Amino acid sequence: MLDRKIVRERPGELREAMQRRGALGGLAVPLHRCEELERERRLLIQAVDERKAARNAASLEVARRKRAREDADALIIEARSLGVEIDRIESELGAAEAELDGILLVVPNITLGDVPEGGEEANVIVRTWGNPRASDGVRPHWETGAALGWFDGDRASKISGSGFTVYRGAGASLVRSLLNFFLDTHTAGGEYEEVWPPVLVNRASMTATGQLPKFEDDAYRIETDDLFLVPTAEVPITNLYRDEILDAVFLPKGFCAYTPCFRREAGSAGKDTRGIQRMHQFDKVELVRYCAPEESNAQLELMLGHAEALLQRLELPYRVKLLAAGDTGFASAKTYDLEVWAAG
């Protein structure tokens, strides 16, 4: 969620950022309401502070009069009245803050200055590596996997429904080997601490990473406990230090984690659903780095380099794409996509 201070101190920048994302049209009214609520919130805080100061002064005077054996009944009534008024105003303040936060939860992040304006058509190919084998008659992975007996979608459907697969034999071994290779490589250099987090997280954790409320329909939820299966290990890793203040000497600090990931992929359709590209359950090794805000861009570039190094060691041709503002993820300030060439 964006800091309320941005609404108060940089409303023009916020509107410009939403314009760059192509989202201002749908957010113009909510942003205007945010500005109203922030002004109202500041006035209510001032009103509470003034009345608390008056109540404190009245309480001190009551104490003085009692010591002097003077009548203090009127001041006692005044102090009680101020207390009732403070409770009323604080209730209004809480309602204003709840409404403001509710709106800010659906406002996407402000993208960095070097992120291109526009939608998907404005994405920029930063660089490519390797030569795709398009002329070698390479078969798509869903054909190769089926021929080798690596994927068993039919039995997965019997067990769980559509959108799942069973990895078998050498296919299962390959998945496990790749996960270990990724984790071992990232931890070997000392840049990352491996963690093994829970795959069920609470609502606060999903909200803190921008998954809720916007993407709740794409999440798997256990209703009785209000817990969610993680869509990415980024959720539990980012929440490791939620609501904590970290000493600067701790930063930057990197973490890597493997988790199975779960997404409903509501509404997905088309050729991307073939094979194992858009599954409800998939396996991923996540990289997360905690850092000071002014170091975030450099740390992103560092992680990008670490991810590219793995692809190069695997000799997989790929390209690095810088996403334009309108194509950048809801919670992201800047996103690179690493797109590996694949047949089909």
- Cβ atoms 201, 227 nearer than 8 A: yes
Give a yes or no: residue 173 inside a domain. yes
54/138 same-domain check: no
Rounded to the nearest integer, the mean pLDDT of the chain is 93
88/137 same-domain check: no
Helix (H) or strand (E) holding 91: helix 73-104
Contacts made by residues 139-145, CB under 8 angstroms, sequence distance 24+: 139/343, 139/344, 140/274, 140/275, 140/342, 140/343, 140/344, 141/275, 141/276, 141/342, 141/343, 141/344, 142/274, 142/275, 142/276, 142/344, 143/344, 145/171, 145/275, 145/276
Of the three residues 55, 83, 104, the one that is the final residue of a domain is 104
Residue for token pair 């170091």: 295
Give a yes or no: residue 331 inside a domain. no
Please state whether the peptide bond connecting residue 213 to the residue before it is cis, i.e. omega within 30 degrees of 0: yes
What single letter denotes the amino acid at residue 87?
D
Question: Is the model's pLDDT at 137 over the cut of 90?
Answer: no
Kindly state the average pLDDT of the residues 339-344.
86
Phi, psi of 199 (to 5 degrees): -100, -5
89/216 same-domain check: no
Note the pLDDT tens digit of each residue in 296-336: 999 999 999 999 999 999 999 999 999 999 999 999 999 99
Kindly state the average pLDDT of the residues 264-281.
72
Give a yes or no: residue 128 inside a domain. no
CA 195 to chain centre: 18
Residue for token pair 């108060």: 8
Give a yes or no: residue 120 inside a domain. no
78/219 same-domain check: no
Note the pLDDT tens digit of each residue in 11-69: 999 999 999 999 999 999 999 999 999 999 999 999 999 999 999 999 999 999 989 88
Structural domain including 30 reads 4-104
210/290 same-domain check: yes
Question: Is the model's pLDDT at 271 over the cut of 60?
Answer: no
Residue for token pair 């996960």: 179
As a whole-number percent, the residues of the chain with pLDDT over 70 amount to 97
168/80 same-domain check: no
Residue-level pLDDT at 272: 62
Residue-level pLDDT at 309: 97
Give a yes or no: residue 267 inside a domain. yes
Give a yes or no: residue 115 inside a domain. no
β-bridge pairing 193-195 and 253-262: parallel
Core vs surface per residue 59-98: b (16+ CB within 10 A) or e:
beebeebeeeeeebeebeebbeebeeebeebbeebeebbe
- Residue 290: C-alpha distances to residues 188, 192, 204, 238, 261 (Å): 19, 11, 19, 8, 22
Of the three residues 104, 122, 150, the one that is the final residue of a domain is 104
Residue-level pLDDT at 135: 63
181/281 same-domain check: yes
- Work out the pLDDT band at 132, boundaries 50, 70, 90: confident
14/76 same-domain check: yes
Residue-level pLDDT at 268: 59
Note the pLDDT tens digit of each residue in 167-213: 999 999 999 999 999 999 999 989 999 999 999 999 999 999 999 99
Instruction: Report the CATH number at residue 167.
Output: 3.30.930.10
30/141 same-domain check: no
Phi, psi of 196 (to 5 degrees): -125, 85
Residue-level pLDDT at 269: 56
93/207 same-domain check: no
Phi, psi of 233 (to 5 degrees): -65, -15
Give a yes or no: residue 153 inside a domain. yes
Instruction: Report the CATH number at residue 66.
Output: 1.10.287.40
- How many structural domains compose the chain? 2
Give a yes or no: residue 330 inside a domain. no
- Answer positive or negative: Cα dihedral of 186, 187, 188, 189: positive
Q: Report the greatest alpha carbon distance in the chain.
A: 102
233-238-241 Cα angle (round to 5)? 135
Q: Please list the helix, strand and coil fractions of the chain in percent, rounded to the nearest 5, in that order.
A: 55, 15, 35
220/258 same-domain check: yes
Question: Which of the two residues, 306 and 344, has the higher pLDDT score?
Answer: 306
Give this prediction's pTM.
0.87
| Dist. CA 95–CA 41, nearest whole Å | 9
Question: Is the model's pLDDT at 134 over the cut of 90?
Answer: no
Question: Is the model's pLDDT at 246 over the cut of 70?
Answer: yes
21/157 same-domain check: no
- Work out the pLDDT band at 273, boundaries 50, 70, 90: low
